[in-house]
Amino acid sequence: ETDLITLDPGFVNTGSCRSDITYIDGDAGILRYRGYPIEQLAKNSTFVETSYLLIYDELPNAKQLEDFTQQIQRHTMLHEDLKKFFDGFPVDAHPMPVLSSAVSALSTFYQRSLDPFDEPNVDLSTIRLLAKVPTIAAYAYKNSIGQPFLYPDNSLNLVENFLRMTFGLPAEPYEVDPEVAKALDMLFILHADHEQNCSTSTVRLVGSSQANLFASISAGINALFGPLHGGANAAVLTMLENIRDNHGNTDDFVAKVKNKEPGVRLMGFGHRVYKNYDPRAAIVRDTARGIIEKLGGGDELLDIAMKLEDYALNDEYFVERKLYPNVDFYTGLIYQAMGFPTEMFTVLFAIGRLPGWIAHWREMIEDPDTRIGRPRQVYTGPTERDFVPMEER
């Protein structure tokens, strides 16, 4: 890869790039946002504060954080015409394509004649996305269960507002559980960025054609939807439920994984970069039991997950392939305990990853060396040959 980068100073052909945003050491299991260790941010920061750090590359002072928070609060409502979009989706539509469609549609309301790259518009589009994506996500869920939308309540913070719009009902007051809000806020911090993963690279590649921020983020949401990427957190829960329904027989499941039965993978395990324990998974694992028990969730699937982890970490098949739990292995269990349906798990990943996508898009458009991405290929098709008339085929 170094040769490719050396050979390709503009990074235009390999898709690799320089970035100041996130540092990962996959062998040592290190993750830092703008130099700050993920463990410290998860413990001491908030999702809005970490979003500011990723996007504006420094932790905000009190005034900056207050201004940023207030700007976001002013934009949490959706245009009344945008809400009509939800009427067009089938009731059982998966919320991820609903989210990517609505985010793309935001550009029809907010990104028409103005230059998408001049500072005020980039800052305003940044705020609008951070503010409106949680609202769109909550409405996608409400639409799927036939319940009315709640307008945002800006006396609440971003995460509390999202929880209320997701689980609240117009007919009765909704009290946000501070433990749930705190746990979800921490999970969003853990998902906020991860350097050049599939969806972030998609955002950068689409943005390199000078597509606006809404269009680029919509592309990232679609990339995240894949079960090998953001869709894995939902796939983990299905995997654990299948093991539970097979009398909790982890040995039987692991045998299928090792035999590479079609479609059988240890979901939530493995990573292209981490060849050690994903530091985010370690944080989630250490907090999962407490949160799940507090919320009255079942330990059964968590026990199966921990048994599966112990098995894999001591089995040569996984050890020699350096397969460890990744961020998706335990998160689904917490989301389920919070009351989210499986279809919403990847949407939660998207809400968390949004500030990272925005930070990378802004870094890319602000880099004078950026040119349109054009990955190279090695051609392996047929050599030149003449056209064959139909009667000779």
Judged by beta carbon, residue 326 or residue 370, the one nearer ligand SDX is 326
**Total interface residues for ligand SDX by CB under 6 A:** 21
Q: Are 132 and 105 in contact (CB under 8 A)?
A: no
Task: Give whole-number Cα distances, 33 to 123, 304, 331, 351, in Å.
Answer: 20, 32, 20, 17
Question: What tokens does 86 get?
Answer: 């939800």
Please choose, from the candidates 38, 40, 20, the residue with its C-alpha nearest in 3D space to the C-alpha of residue 30: 38
Rounded Cα distance, 84 and 365, in Å: 32
Report the DSSP pairing between strands 36-37 and 22-25.
unpaired
Is 144 a binding residue for ligand SDX by CB under 6 A? The answer is no
Q: Which stretch binds ligand SDX (CB under 6 A): 71-79, 134-142, 289-297, 323-331?
A: 323-331
310 is catalytic: no
Residue 197: strand, helix, or coil = coil
Length of the chain: 393
Q: Which of 185, 193, 278, 328 is catalytic?
A: 328
Which residue in 272, 294, 371, 376 binds ligand SDX (CB under 6 A)?
272
Q: Which of 75, 194, 271, 360 is catalytic?
A: 271
Backbone angles phi, psi at 24, to 5 degrees: -125, 135
Burial of 362 (0-12, 13-18, 19+ CB in 10 A): buried
Is 194 a binding residue for ligand SDX by CB under 6 A? The answer is yes
Which residue in 163, 267, 304, 364 binds ligand SDX (CB under 6 A)?
267
Residue 42 Cβ vs ligand SDX, minimum distance, rounded to whole Å = 14
DSSP for 288-337?
HHHHHHHTT--SHHHHHHHHHHHHHHTSHHHHHTT--B-THHHHHHHHHH
Judged by beta carbon, residue 206 or residue 257, the one nearer ligand SDX is 257
Which residue in 257, 283, 292, 337 binds ligand SDX (CB under 6 A)?
257
Judged by beta carbon, residue 7 or residue 228, the one nearer ligand SDX is 228
Residue 268 Cβ vs ligand SDX, minimum distance, rounded to whole Å = 5
191 is catalytic: no
Which residue in 11, 269, 330, 340 binds ligand SDX (CB under 6 A)?
269
Contacts of 7 (CB under 8 A, 6+ apart): none
Q: Are 136 and 348 in contact (CB under 8 A)?
A: no
DSSP for 68-111?
HHHHHHHT-SPPHHHHTHHHHS-TT--HHHHHHHHHHHHHHHHS
Judged by beta carbon, residue 104 or residue 200, the one nearer ligand SDX is 200
Judged by beta carbon, residue 106 or residue 327, the one nearer ligand SDX is 327
Is 323 a binding residue for ligand SDX by CB under 6 A? The answer is yes
Is 232 a binding residue for ligand SDX by CB under 6 A? The answer is yes
Q: Which stretch binds ligand SDX (CB under 6 A): 88-96, 166-174, 194-202, 367-375?
A: 194-202
Which residue in 328, 334, 370, 373 binds ligand SDX (CB under 6 A)?
328
> Where on the chain is the footprint of ligand SDX (CB under 6 A)?
194, 197-198, 228-229, 232, 257, 265-273, 321, 323, 326-328
List active site positions.
271, 328
